[in-house]
């Protein structure tokens, strides 16, 4: 009746803007992926040639693999560390607020500064890492972290993990505040060990926060761009290249906008698949409540 | 007795461990501050992690003047604030519609907004540039305000819709029976109840929009419109970058974000998981 | 009462009179990439001088960081509101815009200002495309091997003129615990510089130019000679370790701290070191490898162009004329130690190193712009990646040459 139409009055303005500024350009990008375009003259329609080229492109596969390595590390390290820190800091510890702010502070620094400082941490001669290793006698471990293709990716991810952990910790902290402490006290009095309390009470009740953390972590790792661009530009010879950076290089350095658009479309599809499954899950939960 | 003592020692131990951990964690931040207070000559002569001979505020001064930070900071605010208010308002409208009303296209539209979160924005750079050029808002504040405002609608709608779904239906039912219009329900009931989520979103969005750099690069031609991030980037030389000035400028540009964060922090922590059902 | 009603009308009327007699200033928009500290100051000074000479004109100078500028310029040129004048580099990059019809010729200005007389003939080839002037050369700098005089003095070393002498110098330095060459290859162009020079010295500037333009395959034997010599240097510790970990500036630290003695680099290296170190720096031409091969040098030239859709073309051309004049070029020579094309700029404005550089160039047979300014951007980017691979794995140079050739095939097709 009346109700059926009223939602459009709310949706009209946001939808119109969204369609013009986001949906439209996105569709245009899909179209661009079927062309060859230098960004200046007119696009030249070439069908699925870009995708065929991508199929044979070793750099594309390297970037893809790197993204998945990034995803794996991100799902393990910052998530576990963030959770651990959140649990520690949710207790009554002195200076908890200060510690929380300190661990979150990397999120506030500009990526260009983070990239610069971490390059100096990894500096083979004057860097903090190598000098510390030498100081504690682990001299043999020193190397050119960013210049060696075998370690470069992990070095860059290291800086990204440093930044992401604070964000994860904050999300888990929020989730933990919704767990009544009396529940945990009761379990402790009943003789449950710390591990049991964690596994059977905290973890299940943290589910909503965990799901958000996992989704955001997935998106951040698949979308990774800033640190690669700033610290290595994808080098040494593509060992740190990731899809978002590859797309950027193709589009804005090589002026192969069509090819870059194709990479972007693939990236979009991958992320969409991940998120679609998440959303389906959330929908199931919503319906079951 | 024994337990409490154990507890006390445990807490002390945790505190110490955390302290050491945080000190190590903050080393890069410390490195940034160190660099900002040293001169380029000294860094080139002495290295990055050495004890400084001379500390000075010169880099900050240079960043402020050479980087025209007063103009650029003002521009950042001129761009961020309208975009922020705009996106929060428009997203609330859309989120309300998606949360309240059951209609066929609901899920599809929801997915569409979510899809917007996933798009790597770099691919939108050139199409949006063409759009802005076509609309005549290229090289103006409006070009940036519009793209920021609209691009964030995806994430904000997703977030707010989930939050609004936790508001009990009885409230709106009762209001409807009292003869309230739909818009009044939105304005008088849902918006106020959504304050924590809006504050949380406001903090996040402020940071993201304020720290944007690439959109400004593509959509602004004249320096006088540039936000602070793009302005800072012009401190990077072709060959020579004064690291100290660059870091000092970045630190200065971070201050508004920190202020907003501190100010809204209490909402921020509370609001983040409120969209998840529990 | 009547007077009271009249007053506001009089006020408005007089205001109108005042405003109508004020002439609106014209605005000239100039976008440059002169973001380094010294060029930035110099550019601002130039603009001030022009505004003094032309009080009716208000110049809007927009300086953007170099890398960002390269991306933004494409956006500006295709918008309906580009700047009136923009800075750009000579070579392939300038030709690119000419070919796409995005820039405006100013041959009329060239002839009016008699630039054929004032600018050396060698520059005409980078300014003219199909007999029209599109690019105004404004300043250039040379590349050379810079070295610390004090280190050379300590070990009794002289500026090497030949390849053998260079190797000897290197060996002496190594024996005394000094790395011969500082370098930072994180952003690749420093490695490309080495390729340029080795190629020009071994195979001559004509071959080098043909290679840069994609007309010669990378699998040519002559290219192999370049890699072989380079391989020798890398494998015999002539460069700092882990060069790829450092930006060129971070690589420079080895030189400023006295751990390395030389750096193949452009003249701007002076701007990145402290005054004390500056006084200790000198340079020599990259040593001759083959006496019978003509001598080429990299001479990256910066200049200005006018967008085809410039809002104020007459004003833009006037500014170009100014930039070509002695007044418009002098500041860059005096304040920055750069070289300028206008022959009428007196020798006195050049400092000692600049005069040395000038002499070096006058005794050069041919000029190139630089690897990534001479080569198509995509080919340059991808082959520079491969140069980095070579640096890491020098003995794989043959397969790397084949990969470079594949890039050339893909781009040139």
User: Helix/strand/coil (H, E, C) string of B147-212?
Assistant: HHHHHCHHHHHHHHHHHHCCCCHHHHHHHHHCCCCHHHHHHHHHHHHCHHHHHHHHHHHHHHHHCC
Mean pLDDT of chain A: 87
* Residues A39, C78: C-beta atoms closer than 8 Å: yes
Specify whether C248 is located in the same domain as C379: yes
Residue C20: inside a domain: no
pTM of the model: 0.84
Specify whether C218 is located in the same domain as C237: yes
Residue C35: inside a domain: yes
Q: Stretch A195-204: mean pLDDT, rounded? A: 84
Neighbour subunits, A (≥3 Cβ pairs < 8 A): B, C
At the top level of CATH, which class does the domain A58-254 belong to?
Answer: mainly alpha
Specify whether C161 is located in the same domain as C271: yes
Helix (H, G, I), strand (E, B) or coil at A45: strand
Q: Stretch A57-72: mean pLDDT, rounded? A: 94
Helix (H, G, I), strand (E, B) or coil at C58: strand
CB nearest to A124's CB, from C100, C241, C378? C241
Specify whether C137 is located in the same domain as C173: no
For the stretch C347-380, pLDDT in tens is 888 888 888 988 888 888 888 899 999 998 889 9
Question: Which has the minimum average pLDDT: A98-112, A167-181, B57-71, B239-253?
Answer: A167-181
| pLDDT, greater one: B230 or B25 | B25
CATH topology for B62-273 is: MetI-like fold (1.10.3720)
C229 lies in which domain range? 143-298+366-412
Residue C95: inside a domain: yes
Please state the domain count of chain C.
2
Cβ neighbours of residue C342 closer than 8 Å, sequence gap 6 or more: C118, C119, C324, C325, C326, C329
* Residues A40, C100: C-beta atoms closer than 8 Å: yes
Specify whether C130 is located in the same domain as C165: no
Helix (H, G, I), strand (E, B) or coil at C101: coil
For the stretch C265-288, pLDDT in tens is 999 898 889 999 999 999 999 999
Residue A95, phi-psi category: left (phi > 0), alpha (psi -120 to 50), beta (remainder): left
Enumerate the β-bridge partners of residue C297: C367
Specify whether C188 is located in the same domain as C93: no
Q: What is the pLDDT of residue C20?
A: 40
| pLDDT, greater one: A251 or C252 | C252
Residue C393: inside a domain: yes
**Measured between CA atoms, how close is A4 to chain B, in angstroms?**
7
**Measured between CA atoms, how close is B240 to chain C, in angstroms?**
6
Q: DSSP secondary structure string, chain B?
A: -HHHHHHHHHHHHHHHHHHHHHHHHTHHHHHHHHHHTS-HHHHHHH-SSSPPS---SHHHHHHHHHTTHHHHHHHHHHHHHHHHHHHHHHHHHHHHHHHH---TTHHHHHHHHHHHHHS-GGGGHHHHHHHHHHHT-TTSHHHHHHHHHHHTHHHHHHHHHHHHTTS-HHHHHHHHHTT--HHHHIIIIIHHHTHHHHHHHHHHHHHHHHT--HHHHHH--SGGG--HHHHHHTTB-SS-B-HHHHHHHHHHHHHHHHHHHHHHHHHHHHHTTTTS--
- Flag whether pLDDT at A156 surpasses 50: yes
Domain boundaries, chain A: 58-254
Q: Stretch B251-272: mean pLDDT, rounded? A: 75
- Flag whether pLDDT at A255 surpasses 90: no
CB nearest to A123's CB, from B48, B98, B186? B48
Question: Which has the minimum average pLDDT: C140-154, C204-218, C328-342?
Answer: C328-342
Pairing of strands C57-63, C26-32: parallel
* ipTM of model: 0.83
User: Which residues on chain A are in Cβ contact (under 8 Å) with B48?
Assistant: 120, 123, 126-127
Q: Stretch B30-49: mean pLDDT, rounded? A: 88
Q: Which token pair is B122?
A: 């770099």
Residue A253 forms contact with C (CB below 8 Å): yes
Q: What is the DSSP letter of C55?
A: T
* Residues B237, C36: C-beta atoms closer than 8 Å: yes
Q: What is the pLDDT of residue B277?
A: 37
Q: What is the pLDDT of residue C24?
A: 57
pLDDT band at residue C147, thresholds of 50, 70 and 90? very high
Cβ neighbours of residue B24 closer than 8 Å, sequence gap 6 or more: none
For the stretch A222-248, pLDDT in tens is 888 889 988 888 878 889 999 999 988
User: Which residues on chain C are in Cβ contact (under 8 Å) with B47?
Assistant: 253, 257
Residue C275 CA to its chain's centroid (Å)? 23
For the stretch C34-63, pLDDT in tens is 888 888 889 999 999 999 999 999 999 999
- Flag whether pLDDT at C210 surpasses 90: yes
CATH value at residue C314: 3.40.190.10
Specify whether C162 is located in the same domain as C90: no
Q: What is the pLDDT of residue B268?
A: 55
- Flag whether pLDDT at A189 surpasses 50: yes
| pLDDT, greater one: A141 or C168 | C168
For helices A111-121 and A128-135, the axis angle rounded to 10 degrees is 30
Domain boundaries, chain B: 62-273
Specify whether C334 is located in the same domain as C396: no
């Amino acid at each position: 009746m009346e109700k059926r139409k009223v939602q459009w009055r709310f949706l009209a303005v946001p939808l119109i803007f969204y369609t013009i500024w986001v949906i439209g350009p996105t569709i245009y990008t899909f179209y661009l992926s079927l062309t060859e375009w230098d960004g200046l003259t007119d696009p030249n329609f070439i069908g699925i040639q870009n995708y065929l080229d991508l199929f044979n492109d070793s750099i594309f596969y390297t970037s893809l693999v790197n993204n998945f390595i990034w995803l794996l590390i991100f799902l393990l390290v910052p998530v576990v560390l963030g959770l651990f820190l959140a649990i520690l800091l949710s207790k009554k510890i002195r200076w908890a607020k200060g510690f929380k702010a300190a661990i979150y502070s990397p999120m506030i620094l500009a990526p260009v500064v983070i990239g610069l400082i971490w390059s100096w941490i990894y500096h083979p001669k004057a860097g903090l890492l190598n000098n510390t290793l030498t100081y504690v006698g682990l001299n043999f471990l020193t190397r050119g972290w960013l210049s060696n293709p075998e370690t470069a990716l992990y070095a860059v991810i290291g800086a990204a993990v440093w930044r992401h952990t604070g964000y994860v910790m904050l999300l888990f902290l929020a989730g933990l505040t919704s767990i009544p402490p009396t529940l945990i006290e009761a379990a402790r009095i009943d003789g449950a060990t710390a591990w049991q309390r964690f596994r059977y009470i905290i973890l299940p009740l943290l589910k909503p926060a965990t799901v958000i953390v996992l989704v955001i972590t997935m998106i951040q790792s698949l979308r990774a761009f800033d640190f690669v661009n700033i610290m290595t530009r994808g080098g040494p010879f593509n060992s740190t290249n990731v899809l978002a950076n590859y797309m950027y290089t193709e589009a804005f350095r090589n002026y192969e906008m069509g090819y870059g658009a194709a990479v972007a479309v693939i990236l979009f599809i991958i992320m969409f698949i991940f998120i679609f499954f998440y959303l389906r899950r959330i929908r199931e939960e919503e319906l079951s409540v | 007795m024994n337990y409490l003592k154990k507890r006390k020692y445990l807490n002390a131990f945790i505190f110490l461990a955390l302290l050491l951990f945080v000190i190590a964690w903050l080393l890069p931040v410390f490195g940034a501050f160190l660099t900002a207070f040293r001169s380029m000559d000294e860094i080139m002569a002495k290295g990055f992690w050495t004890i400084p001979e001379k500390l000075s505020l010169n880099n900050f001064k240079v960043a402020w003047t050479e980087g025209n930070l007063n103009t650029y900071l003002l521009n950042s605010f001129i761009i961020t604030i309208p975009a922020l208010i705009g996106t929060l308002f428009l997203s609330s409208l859309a989120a309300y519609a998606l949360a309240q009303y059951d209609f066929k296209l609901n899920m599809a539209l929801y997915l569409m907004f979510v899809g917007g979160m996933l798009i790597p924005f770099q691919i939108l750079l050139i199409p949006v540039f063409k759009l802005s050029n076509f609309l005549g808002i290229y090289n103006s504040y409006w070009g940036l305000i519009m793209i920021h405002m609209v691009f964030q609608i995806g994430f904000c709608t997703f977030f707010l819709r989930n939050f609004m779904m936790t508001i009990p239906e009885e409230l709106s039912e009762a209001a409807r029976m009292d003869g309230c219009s739909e818009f009044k329900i939105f304005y008088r009931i849902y918006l106020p109840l959504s304050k924590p989520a809006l504050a949380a979103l406001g903090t996040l969005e402020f940071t993201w929009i304020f720290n944007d750099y690439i959109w400004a690069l593509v959509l602004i031609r004249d320096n006088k419109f540039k936000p602070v991030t793009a302005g800072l980037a012009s401190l990077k030389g072709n060959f020579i970058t004064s690291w100290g000035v660059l870091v000092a400028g970045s630190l200065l540009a971070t201050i508004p974000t920190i202020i907003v964060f501190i100010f809204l922090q209490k909402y921020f922590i509370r609001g983040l998981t409120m969209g998840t059902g529990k | 009462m009547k007077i009271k009603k009249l007053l506001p009308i009089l006020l408005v009327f007089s205001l109108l009179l005042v405003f109508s007699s004020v002439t609106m200033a014209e605005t000239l928009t100039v976008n440059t990439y002169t973001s380094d500290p010294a060029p930035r100051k110099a550019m601002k000074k130039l603009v001030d001088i022009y505004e003094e000479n032309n009080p009716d004109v208000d110049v809007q100078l927009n300086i953007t960081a170099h890398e960002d500028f390269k991306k933004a310029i494409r956006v500006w040129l295709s918008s309906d509101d580009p700047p009136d004048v923009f800075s750009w580099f000579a070579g392939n990059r300038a030709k690119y815009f000419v070919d796409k019809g995005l820039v405006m010729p100013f041959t009329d200005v060239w002839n009016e200002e008699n630039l054929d007389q004032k600018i050396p003939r060698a520059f005409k080839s980078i300014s003219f495309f199909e007999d029209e002037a599109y690019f105004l050369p404004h300043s250039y700098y040379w590349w050379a091997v810079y070295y610390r005089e004090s280190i050379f003095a300590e070990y009794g070393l002289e500026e090497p003129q030949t390849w053998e002498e260079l190797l000897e110098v290197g060996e002496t330095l190594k024996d005394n615990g000094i790395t011969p060459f500082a370098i930072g290859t994180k952003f690749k162009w420093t490695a490309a510089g080495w390729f340029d020079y080795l190629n020009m010295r071994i195979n001559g500037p004509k071959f080098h130019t043909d290679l840069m333009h994609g007309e010669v395959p990378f699998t040519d034997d002559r290219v192999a000679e370049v890699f072989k010599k380079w391989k020798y240097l890398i494998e015999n510790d002539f460069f700092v370790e882990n060069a790829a970990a450092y930006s060129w500036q971070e690589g420079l630290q080895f030189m400023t701290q006295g751990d390395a003695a030389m750096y193949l680099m452009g003249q701007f290296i002076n701007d990145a070191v402290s005054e004390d170190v500056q006084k200790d720096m000198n340079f020599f031409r990259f040593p001759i490898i083959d006496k019978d091969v003509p001598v080429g040098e990299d001479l990256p030239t910066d200049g200005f162009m006018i967008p085809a859709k410039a809002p104020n073309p007459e004003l833009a051309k006037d500014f170009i004329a100014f930039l070509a004049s002695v007044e418009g070029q002098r500041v860059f020579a005096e304040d920055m130690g750069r070289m300028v094309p206008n022959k009428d700029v007196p020798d006195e404005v050049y400092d000692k190193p600049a005069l040395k550089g000038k002499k070096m160039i006058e005794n050069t047979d041919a000029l190139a712009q630089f690897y990534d300014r001479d080569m198509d951007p995509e080919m340059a980017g991808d082959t520079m990646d491969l140069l980095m691979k070579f640096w890491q794995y020098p003995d794989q140079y043959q397969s790397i040459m084949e990969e470079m050739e594949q890039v050339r095939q893909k781009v040139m097709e």
